[in-house]
């Protein structure tokens, strides 16, 4: 394995819509040599061509994510990958395993950062200009507000350390996993905590 591949690493940032995954990912990358691959890097071009959540969109979404992650692992990229994970869905757990495989197969480090914040906090973040600019499919703020509320009401999008029994937990227990309430933290503050935690793994703490 060459030195570039030795440096490869995957940090997966999960959490519900509008919790701040993309902005935290940007802050982590700005303070380190990680590079950001956020959920909407795939969603937006597919939505432009095929329409959001169309059959073609759904068929290609996961394949494109896997192709990018495969290339990142092959070239030794330290990658921050962000997405929403319905933790009770076994099919989603299987899909996440597929995302991880290129890094697992090369023996490269994988970590998970899970963000959580209350609905009201996320509704405020949902309309921030930088979020809308990066995610044109969220530009319809009435639809986007309803989407955040509906997902909150109908899906479990965070794990519970007191009840680690979801399909997601069966994946997460194999990797270092940090849960972080970022309600009152700026993206830079979250990034600082995440990178300090990441460094502590090297120190064996």
**How large is the average pLDDT for residues 65-93?**
97
CB 168 within 8 A of CB 87: yes
DSSP category for residue 53: T
Domains and CATH numbers, the chain: 3-203 (3.40.50.300)
The reported pLDDT for the residue numbered 3 is 41
CB 13 within 8 A of CB 25: yes
Instruction: Give pLDDT tens digits for 154-201.
Output: 999 999 999 999 999 999 999 999 999 999 999 999 999 999 999 999
Instruction: Give pLDDT tens digits for 99-156.
Output: 999 999 999 999 999 999 999 999 999 999 888 888 888 888 999 999 999 999 999 9
The reported pLDDT for the residue numbered 70 is 97
Strand partners, 179: 114
**How large is the average pLDDT for residues 26-42?**
96
Q: Indicate whether this model's pTM tops 0.85.
A: yes
The reported pLDDT for the residue numbered 5 is 41
Instruction: Give pLDDT tens digits for 2-29.
Output: 344 457 999 999 999 999 999 999 999 9
| Residue of 110, 148, 140 whose CA lies nearest to 16 | 148
The reported pLDDT for the residue numbered 205 is 53
What are the strands of the beta sheet with 78-83, ordered from one edge? 35-37, 78-83, 9-14, 109-116, 176-181
| Residue of 11, 75, 5 whose CA lies nearest to 37 | 11
């Amino acid at each position: 394995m060459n030195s570039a591949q030795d440096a490869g690493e995957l940090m997966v940032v999960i959490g519900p819509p509008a919790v701040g995954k993309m902005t935290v990912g940007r802050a982590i990358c700005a303070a380190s040599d990680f590079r950001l691959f956020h959920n909407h890097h795939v969603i937006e071009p597919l939505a432009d061509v095929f329409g959001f959540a169309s059959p073609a969109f759904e068929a290609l979404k996961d394949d494109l994510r896997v192709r990018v992650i495969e290339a990142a692992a092959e070239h030794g990229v330290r990658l921050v990958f962000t997405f929403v994970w319905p933790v009770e869905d076994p099919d989603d757990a299987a899909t996440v395993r597929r995302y991880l495989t290129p890094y697992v197969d090369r023996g490269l480090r994988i970590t998970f950062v899970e963000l959580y914040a209350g609905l009201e906090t996320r509704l405020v973040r949902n309309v921030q200009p930088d979020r809308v600019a990066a995610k044109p499919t969220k530009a319809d703020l009435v639809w986007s507000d309803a989407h955040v509320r509906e997902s909150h009401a109908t899906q479990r999008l965070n794990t519970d350390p007191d009840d680690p029994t979801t399909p997601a937990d069966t994946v997460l227990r194999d990797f270092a996993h940090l849960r972080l309430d970022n309600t009152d933290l700026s993206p830079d503050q979250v990034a600082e905590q995440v990178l300090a935690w990441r460094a502590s793994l090297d120190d064996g703490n």
